[in-house]
Amino acid sequence: MTASNQGLGIKRCLLFLGDITEPGFAKTAFGLRDWAGERCVGELRLPGATVSAGLPSLSPAQAAAQGARELVIGVAAPGGGIPPAWAPALVEALEAGLDIVSGMHVRLASLPQLLDAAARHGRRLVDVRNPPPSIPIANGLPRSGQRLLTVGTDCALGKKYTALALSRGLRARGMDAEFRATGQTGIMIAGSGMPIDAVVSDFVAGAAEVLSPAAAPGHIDVIEGQGSLFHPAFAGVSLGLLHGSQPDMFVVCHDPTRSHLLGYPHVPLPSIREVVAQTIALGRVTNPAIRCVGVALNTGSLDEHEAAAEIAALAERLPYPVADPMRGGPAFERLLDACCD
């Protein structure tokens, strides 16, 4: 991805996977591997870890010898938090000359061991989930340029990948499209962005306005969505992002194998139609022309035949193009067509 360089995540790095056993918590590692693979020299796992990004296992010293300048914490548990068991490996990375980059809510500098070791070895502790100062209250005024937002029936089902794939696909067609990151992984991939869920709630819509400013008429900001309007914990983030983004277009991201919200077995997934209707009803507050341009289906857990059948069945039922952006093909081209209308 092209993106402005704010000194974040644009160096070669070692992906740290901790001791996790749940692949759903390794979104950051997988995202960097998939969208910035050329920067990832290897991975570091602690005893007990069962999740791998499929990269060579390297010690911090080995990674530094292969050109890494950063250890990126590639694991994000809901709510953030750095287990004490990780500290020795992180200190070892600082000793080996690597900066540490984290997308967690908790600040790296809040761990005295890391603060000491970073000072001792002249290394940096970089928290990308650290919003800029002086974010304004949203003004809600219409602005020039076009914006596309990815929204979802739940968290963690492809809003970032869809936004990255759409911006790549639009650029391949010669469009002036730019990916706008709103989460820690997206920010690390793009090198800039707005950690929207770390912004104080009064300023969320204002932060979204800052992230996707007025632009030339032909320009399209493709904005990474967050959460879901139907999520009991994160819907407020989703709504502030929707209002501040003032999207002309949105794409609904969905996982056809999911029946309930991830981590919320008591909350059924909303339907795509409910998400479309509610996104339009609420989005109209800041952009009366908001429209759904398609559905991005995450078929990562299906084989090729099942995926094609699922996409075709859904396309039959909905008045929008349906595609899995990670599978590409004619369906994805039709989704891109809809973004260019």
Where do contacts with its own copies occur on this chain (CB under 8 A)? 78-79, 105, 136-141, 196-206, 229-241, 243-244, 264, 266-267, 278, 281-282, 285-286
CA distances from 115 to 85, 108, 188 (A): 16, 8, 22
Contacts of 78 (CB under 8 A, 6+ apart): 263
In the complex, the smallest distance separating the C-beta of residue 94 from its own copies, rounded to whole angstroms, is 26
In the complex, the smallest distance separating the C-beta of residue 283 from its own copies, rounded to whole angstroms, is 11
CA distances from 251 to 130, 228, 238, 292 (A): 27, 12, 14, 6
Strand ranges, E, within 13-130: 13-18, 40-45, 70-73, 99-102, 125-127
Burial class (CB in 10 A: 0-12, 13-18, 19+), 193: buried
In the complex, the smallest distance separating the C-beta of residue 262 from its own copies, rounded to whole angstroms, is 12
Residue with smaller CB distance to its own copies, 80 or 97? 80
Residue with smaller CB distance to its own copies, 185 or 299? 185
For 113, the 3-state DSSP assignment is helix
How many angstroms separate the CA atoms of 294 and 296, rounded? 7
In the complex, the smallest distance separating the C-beta of residue 237 from its own copies, rounded to whole angstroms, is 5
Residue with smaller CB distance to its own copies, 77 or 338? 77
Q: What angle do CA 286, 287, 289 make, to 5 degrees?
A: 160
Residue with smaller CB distance to its own copies, 92 or 274? 274
In the complex, the smallest distance separating the C-beta of residue 270 from its own copies, rounded to whole angstroms, is 8
The count of other CB atoms within 10 Å of the CB of residue 266 is 7
Q: For residue 77, which of 155, 165, 180, 163 has the smallest C-alpha distance?
A: 155
What are the backbone angles phi and psi of residue 143, rounded to the nearest 5°? -135, 160
Residue with smaller CB distance to its own copies, 167 or 184? 184
Residue with smaller CB distance to its own copies, 97 or 131? 131
In the complex, the smallest distance separating the C-beta of residue 209 from its own copies, rounded to whole angstroms, is 9
